[in-house]
Structure 1
């Protein structure tokens, strides 16, 4: 077990990546996790928890963690981990993450990321020689790698599969120390093996084929999917505003609102569900990946209205399942999707959907003009393995 995997928020895209790495590395790693609840609390206290629970071993060579963890604190609390090669994976940028209310930003979380990413001069010189990293003022720039902002987030799953269903408020204290979870086998890799995860899963069954069996393919209304977390950074207000405008004009469509909800659900979801009425085909999180992918395969259009996105694997998964993507002409999307799938304003999004509602066959016959194969684990697994390799004489 030369690789130590540490995840302070073991759910959703965080869990998916750790499970994939664990499967890729087999017996050459040990995984230490905390459940996917109260990420603010985890960002502040996870280092103290892992200081007590990460097993001591002389075999560790590499430490891989997500940026929820304050890596600088953990290394300070556990000097034995300081000598390891460290790989920090950023699922988001807390210095740019949109605030929900008009209030002063809590810079603690971004500050944690800055501390964890800071490199002393001798490390910077080494990286500049090996992979072309250079300092630009107080920042670090990676040369020669297109799309560097998203490079650490290629497997992000915004639908948060692997987490529980609707969460309920629970005590925010650190859980009692417990043994590291056993490595899941290949068939059960999507199930949590972390003893800290005590919440029950909301088991749902889903069969869109049965739901839509009464519709002729030519008469079937446009089916729109929204497979994102039910949180403010995904901008559900804009999405529902556009749909309600379609409904006001008596345009036929169906909508499946997928993704996971957490303790605090924006009010717009309950309001929109009531207002959309019979247009709703499915509403809520699907714990089963088979059900989730079946829902995407039955949809015609997948939409993002996100205000913060490093990659957005839910959109790529939907495209892989045959959906026509509509994404903001901003954030990471222009790096992934051809121009015809981008919109600049909510008005443009409305006009595109209005035309699709009138002629749904245009999207059903459409062949996607971009590429998705490069984002698959088949293409990326080996790269991650190389990243986690440490040679015995490497200057760590």
Structure 2
């Protein structure tokens, strides 16, 4: 139990990351969590809860927590934990997170993150020496580090049951229905796929073969309407309004398409979802959360295009998952996306997004023959696992 993992919001990408680390570290860690409900209360009060519930141990060397936890408060309440080497993982930036209503922002959550991230002068000097952080006035920027403004996802695949986990050595937001990125389930019949098919057909790097015609229940793949996927949380920061307005415009022009609106819902759902469900009508292929990971990846595997309209994104696991399943990505030319996706997959305005989808609706074969031109290998556990193990194996020192 040398690594203490603390997650106040144990759900979604937060859960996926902690589960992966626990699985990889096995007997070398202990995990303390709270359910993924009432996020704001967890951000305000979880330090007091964990102060009372985290077991005392002389074996702890490293504390790994997400920024939902007010780390400064916990360190003050539990001096024994304050002495550990601490790794703080940011899923989002609360100072820049888009507000849903035109009202004064509650700065408590951003303030918590500032307190948790604050480092005294001697630590900043060490950081500059070790990893090349340079000071620019009161700000700091890193040099020579991969993905300065984004994080890296980690895809893990085993021979017996292809699954993956999410890891991010840099701050990042990962929000999706199922954050573990896995190869889609193999179809019963393994047949060699033609070259001009969805990349989900054919043999992937792990040697698994997928027969997309079986997944599509024998329907002619090339004759189906364009299948659009939106696999994000049903919340305002994902900007569902922009997405649905574009689809409604496609519907008005009688363009053929199908849509799968996936992702998890919470207590408050934007009104646009009920409106869009009624307007889109028969164009809806699937609507709602898929608890089964196999069903989720099967839905992505049958989709042609995956869309993001997010207003706040540090990484975007859902998009990488869909690309892994053979989807053509269309993302805003903003946030983290230009760091991950080549320029041809980016759009600047809703009008540009509409025009791209308009063309694809008329010629779905364009995206079905397309082979993704980016690289997702750097997000694999094989590529990043050793870095995490090194980070979490470091011996604590007084200057840390």
TM-score range relative to shorter protein: 0.7 to 0.9
CA distance in 1, matches of 2:313, 2:330: 14
Q: Residue in 2 aligned with 1:352?
A: 356
Deviation string 1:346-391 (CA, Å, 9 cap, x unpaired) is 0000000000000000000000000011112222222111111222
CA distance in 2, matches of 1:60, 1:43: 24
CA distance in 1, matches of 2:146, 2:214: 44
CA distance in 1, matches of 2:153, 2:94: 14
Q: Residue in 2 aligned with 1:144?
A: 144
Q: Residue in 1 aligned with 2:276?
A: 272
Distance 1:141 1:237, change over 3 A: same
The SS at the match of 1:96 is: coil
Decide whether the 8 Å contact of 1:233 with 1:308 is kept in 2: yes
CA distance in 2, matches of 1:14, 1:285: 18
CA distance in 2, matches of 1:52, 1:72: 15
Distance 1:158 1:393, change over 3 A: closer
Decide whether the 8 Å contact of 1:230 with 1:236 is kept in 2: yes
TM-score by length of 2: 0.85
Deviation string 1:12-56 (CA, Å, 9 cap, x unpaired) is 000000011101111110000001011111000000000000010
Are 2:9 and 1:9 equivalent residues in the alignment? Answer: yes
- Alignment of structure 1 residues 93-132 onto 2, 5 Å: 93-132=93-132
Equivalent position to 1:239, from 225, 240, 243: 243
Equivalent position to 2:178, from 161, 164, 188: 161
CA distance in 2, matches of 1:140, 1:374: 25
Decide whether the 8 Å contact of 2:134 with 2:141 is kept in 1: yes
Decide whether the 8 Å contact of 2:84 with 2:396 is kept in 1: no
TM-score by length of 1: 0.85
Decide whether the 8 Å contact of 1:6 with 1:63 is kept in 2: yes
Equivalent position to 1:262, from 259, 266, 271: 266
Decide whether the 8 Å contact of 1:16 with 1:157 is kept in 2: no
Q: Residue in 1 aligned with 2:304?
A: 300
Q: Count residues with an aligned counterpart.
A: 352
Q: Residue in 1 aligned with 2:200?
A: none
> Post-superposition shift, 1:147?
2.2
Equivalent position to 2:335, from 325, 331, 337: 331
CA distance in 2, matches of 1:107, 1:56: 32
Deviation string 1:41-93 (CA, Å, 9 cap, x unpaired) is 10000000000000101111110000000000000100111111110000000
Distance 1:103 1:358, change over 3 A: same
Deviation string 1:126-165 (CA, Å, 9 cap, x unpaired) is 21121122333333322221421213776364224389xx
Q: Which runs of 4+ in 1 moved over 6 A?
A: 208-211
- Alignment of structure 1 residues 357-372 onto 2, 5 Å: 357-372=361-376
Deviation string 1:77-132 (CA, Å, 9 cap, x unpaired) is 00111111110000000000000011111111000000000000111112112112
Q: Residue in 2 aligned with 1:177?
A: none
CA distance in 2, matches of 1:357, 1:267: 26
Deviation string 1:192-224 (CA, Å, 9 cap, x unpaired) is xxxxxxxxxxxxxxxx97894363222200000
Structure 1 gap ranges (5+):
164-207
Q: Residue in 2 aligned with 1:196?
A: none
CA distance in 2, matches of 1:323, 1:152: 20
Decide whether the 8 Å contact of 2:12 with 2:179 is kept in 1: yes
Q: Residue in 1 aligned with 2:286?
A: 282
CA distance in 2, matches of 1:52, 1:162: 30
Q: Residue in 1 aligned with 2:252?
A: 248
The SS at the match of 2:7 is: strand
CA distance in 2, matches of 1:29, 1:395: 23
